[in-house]
Structure 1
Amino acid sequence: MLQHPHQLYEYHVWANDRLFAHLEQLPEDVFHAEVTSVFPSVSQTFGHMYLFEQLYMSVLAEVPNKDIFPKMPGWTEEAQGRTVDEMRRFFSGVAEQFRDLLGRTPDPDKAMTIEHPKYGRLDTHFSDILRHVVNHGTYHRGNVTAMLRQQGYAGVPTDYIFYLMERQVGQR
């Protein structure tokens, strides 16, 4: 059985994959169409999510902020104007890096201290930051669903309970 933080991360990957698979079935222009939402398009939402994934993977790997912050513009630029398939490959690559990091972290509840440039210092745990990554993804997958509905397309269920049910069926 997976440790709970690892399972939550696998849910996150599963949910992103489900959404990418759904987007691949829609016309390509849906991914780049401008809408009124938190971000101006589905593609820009995924660009933000990609930046966030890279950022927090670095935080969890305990890379110093002085080494992370200069990389952020490159991560943002890397994700701009991409197709659904290209973004899916980016997310797949980040997921493999996360899995490698999780495999090298024997104690998912290890204590960490992080420094946010605006909000200050936080004494926390590796698992708390990982839950934050999953929660952030859930929030923005909801944004994407709203954007799709604005364009006349249905979303796809990515709730945690559906992940658990699918895993159970796969274990039978």
Structure 2
Amino acid sequence: MLQQPYALYDYHVWANQRIFNHLEQLPEEVFHAEVTSVFPSVARTFGHLYRFERLYHSVLAEVPTEEIFPKIPVWTAEAEGVSVDGMRRLFAGTAEQFHDLMERTPDPDQAMTIVHPSYGSLHTCFSDILRHVVNHGTYHRGNVTAMLRQQGYSGVPTDYLFYLVECQESGQ
């Protein structure tokens, strides 16, 4: 059985996939349509999530801060103007990198210190940062649901409980 923070990350991947599956059933313009929200479109929301996930993967992999920040424009460009399928592929690659990192980090409570040039040092552990990634994704999936409703489309349930039910039904 997976350790709890790692299982939560699997929920996060599942929830993103549910939204991508749903978006692929909608007209492509829904993904890029300008709306008044936290971000100007569903695509830009996922672009933000992608950039964030790449950043925090680097943090968890203990890449030095001065090496991470120059990569942000590259990650931003990778997610610009892509289709739903293109975004799905970006997220699949990131999820694979996270899973590889989790395999190499058997102790989710491994202590770590994060140093940010503006916010200083944070003494934390691997699992807290991983939970932060999951929580951040949950927040923005809610934004996506609101954006879809603004455009006249329903969202798709991504609650953790639905994930647990699906896992139980599939025998996972």
Q: 1:117, 1:12 → 2: CA distance?
A: 28
User: TM-score of the superposition, structure 1-length normalised?
Assistant: 0.98
Instruction: State the Cα distance separating 1:121 from its structure 2 match.
Output: 1.0
Aligned to 1:14: 14
- Residue ranges of structure 1 left out of the alignment (5+ in a row): none
Q: Which residue of 1 aligns with 2:165?
A: 165
CA deviations 1:97-151 (Å, max 9, x no partner) are 0000000001110001001232221100000000000000000000000000000
2:112 partner SS: strand
Partner secondary structure for residue 34 of structure 1: coil
Q: Cα distance, 1:32 vs. partner?
A: 0.2
Matches within 5 A, 1:3-152: 3-152=3-152
Report SS of the residue matched to 1:2. Answer: coil
Structure 2, unpaired ranges of 5+:
none
Q: Structure 2: which amino acid aligns with 1:71?
A: K
**Matches of 2:98 and 2:78 in 1, distance apart?**
19
- Which one-letter code corresponds to 1:152 in the other structure? G
- Provide the alpha-carbon RMSD of the alignment: 0.8
In 2, distance between residues paired with 1:21 and 1:78? Answer: 21
Q: What code does the residue aligned with 2:60 have?
A: L
* Identity rate, percent: 74
